[in-house]
Amino acid sequence: MEKKELLYEGKAKKIWTTNDKDLLISEFKDSLTAFNGEKKSSEDGKGALNNEISAALFEYLEEKGIPTHYVKMLDANHMLHKRADVILIEVIVRNIATGSLSRNLGIEDGKVLPFTLVEFDYKNDELGDPKLNDQHCLILELVKSPDELDYIRYMARKINKFLIEFYDELGLRLVDFKLEFGRDKNDNIILIDELSPDNFRLWDKKTNEKMDKDRFRQGLGGLKEAYSEVLRRIKNR
């Protein structure tokens, strides 16, 4: 399967058409961005790490019955996946308070939440990805009905349950993460995008060391080493 035309380029990936209208190729980039693109850098090998980690997690979730766009890894930086119409909602799943949740609401950093919090952000860079409630989603016609929002929340919590178990085996705490969904050619809602430390907050269970993009956001250094360690634990699982 070969890349044809560049369909889209985002902060972390390029998406290419193929000779099959129902299949696309994602090329994982080494670029790093934070704070809505205000902080930028690059880390050699980061894209390949994200590709391999994402592939492993997509395969794991498929085994658990979660429908995704994943088909297979093509090489270090390229993933083959189904074409899907992106639902312009970023689904934020939180198990432990940190980041914007702590800053905006004054919840103690590191506090375990009494239940899994699922939030929606508008996937719109120009507007700075603002928060959405259900009514916003319907007014903007991001979904077709309230039932679809309920389904997305249900799937987010189901995915969260599986991933908590997955990362617990690796000695990691799943703090929070971002998911994206899309519609396949049959109008089914499926999990898309990537499942990597760029989009996940992961803390070592023994040391609370950050094993995710917060190492870049907070200027801690060692991002590639942290991502490599996550992949090593996945491979040794």
Domain boundary among 67, 82, 97: 82
Q: How far apart are CA 56 and CA 72, in angstroms?
A: 10
198, 115 in Cβ contact below 8 A? Answer: no
Domain hosting 194: range is: 85-222
Count CB-CB contacts under 10 A for residue 182: 20
Confidence (pTM) = 0.96
Q: Considering the chain, what is the average pLDDT of its residues?
A: 97
Residues 40 and 93 in one domain: no
Q: Assess if residue 232 is contained within a domain.
A: no
pLDDT in the model for residue 84: 98
Q: Assess if residue 237 is contained within a domain.
A: no
Output the domain CATH number for residue 154.
3.30.470.20
Q: Assess if residue 227 is contained within a domain.
A: no
pLDDT in the model for residue 88: 98
* Position 1 pLDDT exceeds 90: no
Half-sphere CA count of 229, side-chain side, radius 13 A: 15
pLDDT in the model for residue 38: 85
Q: How many helices and strands, by DSSP H and E, does the chain display?
A: 6, 14
Domain boundary among 82, 103, 130: 82
* Position 173 pLDDT exceeds 90: yes
Torsion of CA 130, 135, 140, 145, to 10 degrees: 130
Domain boundary among 35, 59, 82: 82
Q: How many structural domains does the chain have?
A: 2
57, 233 in Cβ contact below 8 A? Answer: no
pLDDT in the model for residue 63: 98
Q: How far apart are CA 183 and CA 186, in angstroms?
A: 7
Q: How far is CA 109 from the centre of its chain?
A: 21
Q: How far is CA 67 from the centre of its chain?
A: 15
Residues 78 and 90 in one domain: no
Q: What is the pLDDT of residues 108-118, one digit of tens each?
A: 999 999 999 99
187: Cβ–Cβ under 8 A, 6 or more apart, which residues? none
The backbone torsions φ and ψ at residue 23, rounded to the nearest 5 degrees and listed phi first, read -125, 140
| Mean pLDDT calculated for residue range 204-213 | 98
Count CB-CB contacts under 10 A for residue 214: 20
